[in-house]
Amino acid sequence: MRSAISSARRPAVTVVLGFAVVVVIGTVLLTLPIASARGQPTDLVRALFTATSAVCITGLAVVDTAQHWSLFGEIVILALVQAGGLGIMTLASLLGLLVSRRLGLRMRLSAQRETKSAGLGDVRTVVLGVVVLSLTFEFVVATILVTRLFTGYDHSFGEALHSGVFHAVSSFNNAGFALFDDGLTAFVSDPWICLTIAFSVIAGGLGFPVFLELGRRLRGKQAWSVHTKLTVGTTLLLLVAGFAFITISEWSNEDTLGAHAPPTKLLAGFFTAVMPRSGGLHALDIDAMNSESLLVQSALMLIGGGSASTAGGIKVTTFAILAFVILAEIRGEPSVHVMGRKLAASTQRQALTIALLTVALVIGATAALLSMTDFALEAVMFESISAVATVGLSTGITPDLPPAAHVLMSVLMFIGRLGPITLASALALRDRPRRFELAEVRPIVG
């Protein structure tokens, strides 16, 4: 038993240590004088926070990215974002492959019938697939952004290239970093910029397994699996619901959508609804939004994007699974069925565990930050969820938090990024049959 537990934990420990090493390297590089625009060393806490935010592809910042960091510092941040994005997608996909290969024969045959394939493939296929997918999307997005910035704005080609590439990498990796002082508010009415970045965030948040299946589907080789259907369907549902609610809520708010023409309101409403899935960029003043809009964005941030993607949160599949569990319980059904398949009890337990632990982490983080600051509960909770779900949206209070709070938020970003992946894989790898059952008991519920 001890060896089984050790082997289950080993992949998770390797992932955590690997990302921790990258954070340390990034922190050291960002403390160098050459990384600062003023040529002075950046203090350790700010460097650590920025490195963690970049590697964990969050986007929260304690300093102005464009003003504080030099070109070298921005390149370091971009490299950390790229490493974090590729690492998350690759490692999550590989862990999923490892879990599938560690399942029993009956479960593996069932999975083959479901996906019409043997799995994600070997390690080389997964790694090359993730790299090619990421670089292809980033190249296309960068080309559109560079062209638009060069032809439609007062940007030299060098400036357009710099900004276009940076925001392409940041958006596809759901990193949330921007090179403009006010985020993307200057482009709130520009569909070329907003829609390109929005769809880049959506693509990055779907996950490599989904794109692998979509590619096979286009070639007529297989139908969509339940995972892909859940990911795509839930993503579309949340986008439509978020867009409708935020747009209606902010329509008359003069500090956000109210000052714009109807076409811009719709564009900005859609952009704002996309970003909580883990994009982290903003074209409206988050702090000026209504409380109900902040609440909905908090919920969307907590849910996040797809599994094995660059998005954070508990993941849309986890949210969808819990919804099916609740529906089955309301109907009084003895088992949970999802799209013509019976949902494994172990999957239900894993989804519930991840969701409740994430909520507990948010509550604990909010309580800790409230004890360190004098900010309102609404702003502190929004910031806590943004850190735990690795989103990067902010009401603007992060730079004003004390150093102890910055260290705490660095830990939250690290746990929020790696926690769901490592926990899910560890739970799945430790799954083992029970040789006997105890007498059933039914405590009073409710």
In a domain, 82, yes or no: yes
Q: How confident is the model at residue 283 (pLDDT cuts 50, 70, 90)?
A: very high
In a domain, 308, yes or no: yes
In a domain, 160, yes or no: yes
pLDDT exceeds 50 at position 4? no
**Cα dist. 236→233, 264, 290, 294, 426 in Å?**
5, 21, 24, 20, 29
DSSP-assigned beta bridge partners for residue 69: 36
Q: How many helices (H) and strands (E) does the chain have?
A: 16, 2
Separation CA 103–CA 32 (nearest Å): 47
Between helix 123-152 and helix 208-218 the angle, nearest 10°, is 90
Q: What is the DSSP string of 363-423?
A: HHHHHHHHHH----HHHHHHHHHHHHTT-----S-GGGS-HHHHHHHHHHHHHHHHHHHHH
Structure confidence at residue 177 (pLDDT): 93
* Mean pLDDT calculated for residue range 9-18: 69
Structure confidence at residue 112 (pLDDT): 39
In a domain, 436, yes or no: no
Separation CA 49–CA 16 (nearest Å): 17
Span 178-212, pLDDT tens digits: 998 888 999 999 999 999 999 999 999 998 888 87
Burial of 262 (0-12, 13-18, 19+ CB in 10 A): exposed
In a domain, 437, yes or no: no
Span 214-257, pLDDT tens digits: 777 776 666 778 888 899 999 999 999 999 999 999 999 999 99
For 181, phi then psi, to 5°, come to -60, -35
Highest mean pLDDT pick, 81-90, 96-105, 263-272, 348-357: 263-272
Instruction: Classify the phi-psi angles of 150: left when phi > 0, otherwise alpha if psi is within -120 to 50, otherwise beta.
Output: alpha
In a domain, 198, yes or no: yes
pLDDT exceeds 50 at position 3? no
Separation CA 391–CA 303 (nearest Å): 11
* Mean pLDDT calculated for residue range 23-38: 95
In a domain, 305, yes or no: yes
Burial of 357 (0-12, 13-18, 19+ CB in 10 A): middle
Q: How confident is the model at residue 425 (pLDDT cuts 50, 70, 90)?
A: low
Structure confidence at residue 366 (pLDDT): 96
Structure confidence at residue 142 (pLDDT): 96
Q: How many CB atoms lie within 10 A of CB 437?
A: 6
DSSP code of 342?
Answer: E
* Mean pLDDT calculated for residue range 367-381: 94
Q: Is the pTM of this model over 0.95?
A: no
Span 32-55, pLDDT tens digits: 999 999 999 999 999 999 999 999
Q: Which residues contact 268 (CB under 8 A, 6 or more apart)?
A: 188, 189, 194, 256, 257, 260, 283, 284
Q: How confident is the model at residue 19 (pLDDT cuts 50, 70, 90)?
A: confident
What is the radius of gyration, based on Cα positions, of the chain? Answer: 22
* Mean pLDDT calculated for residue range 303-332: 91
How high is the mean pLDDT of the chain?
A: 85
Span 245-266, pLDDT tens digits: 999 999 999 999 998 999 999 9
The domain tally of the chain equals: 1
Q: How confident is the model at residue 106 (pLDDT cuts 50, 70, 90)?
A: very low
Range(s) of the domain holding residue 405: 2-429
In a domain, 48, yes or no: yes
